[in-house]
Amino acid sequence: MSSSKGQDAELRANVSVDSISSIGAITKRSGFFMIKQRTLTNVITGTGVGLHTGVKICLTLHPARANTGIIFRRVDIEPVVEIPATVENVSSTRLSTTLECNNVQVSTVEHLMSAFAGLGIDNAYVDVTAGEVPIMDGSAHPFLFLMESAGITLQNAPKKFMRVKKKIVVRESDKWAKFEPYNGFRVSFKIDFDHPVLKNSNQNVSIDFANESYKNNISRARTFGFMSDLERLQEAGLAQGASDKNAIVMNQFHILNDDQLRFQDEFVRHKILDAIGDIYLLGYPLIGSFSAYKSGHFLNNRLLATLKQDQSAWELIESDDFERVPTTIIRPLVAENYG
């Protein structure tokens, strides 16, 4: 037995299935233990401005049946158009990740998708009253708050995972993004900005979610940008809703926000937040490692598409195949949620 398999067997022996079953996260079905899918308990609504349009947007999250996935609905259009949150529906990665179906788009989905991933929500409907998800404070935390306020319901269906079976790498100039097999879920990211504020912060972070909390360590990290870029975008009719209320804004030398950074390395943590949201467009929680250098939505989504196209590089695992789900995935289920 290899050391990694031996360690996993030892950890599995220390995970009490009875203790996990007692909170309902895992149940016994046909003689096998099953990790349950999750949805929301109640409908909940929030409002905010669109990052690019600057208009007020109403966002409503609904429970959904098992095996529905995450589906966006443009309720400002008659008839309502449904847009499944899948990598196949990504139509643009300029400034954010945009989904499209039947020529109808919804953009800036990555922070909301990251929150769904962070709480392990498998199934939900997302109603929006415009062509983008509201930016809120520029992080995933307001969405996490909405979901926790709505409550989480366990569903009588096995949770499915996508396991990475071999290394997949995509490159663009000196930038790259990579999936590798890993017995859990780990995200590593390195950025390299030649700016006084960023140069004085840690620009390289690796998070193993068996040991660290998405809610505490990632969800609060805000998006960031430079005043010179913001002025250029607004002159082009974009970023009409952007401000220091929903982003960390910097000039050539300093942060312009009145409040301080939430983390010393908030910039790279936000890149991890974005990556988790993009990765969840695979449609399932990932068992594997993601790492990247100077990547963004374009390269992230190219990596997802490359993985999906190579059917030898991944496999779907249903969680009633209990012995094939790593304990590093199972153990967080003992907690109240994935956060």
240 within 8 A of 269, measured Cβ to Cβ: no
Find residue 47's DSSP bridge partners: 58
Q: Is 254 a catalytic residue?
A: no
214 within 8 A of 279, measured Cβ to Cβ: no
In which residue are the tokens 């908030």 written? 266
Return d(Cα 119, Cα 117) in angstroms, integer: 5
Residue 19, SS3 per DSSP = helix
How many CB atoms neighbour CB 158 within 10 A? 23
Task: Please report the sign of the dihedral spanned by the C-alpha atoms of residue 246, residue 248, residue 251, residue 256.
Answer: positive
Return d(Cα 325, Cα 20) in angstroms, integer: 14
180 within 8 A of 167, measured Cβ to Cβ: yes
Residue 42 to residues 55, 114, 151, Cα–Cα distance (Å) = 26, 20, 6
Structure tokens at 318: 């249903």
| Among 52, 62, 141, 297, the one annotated catalytic | 297
Residues annotated as part of the active site: 297
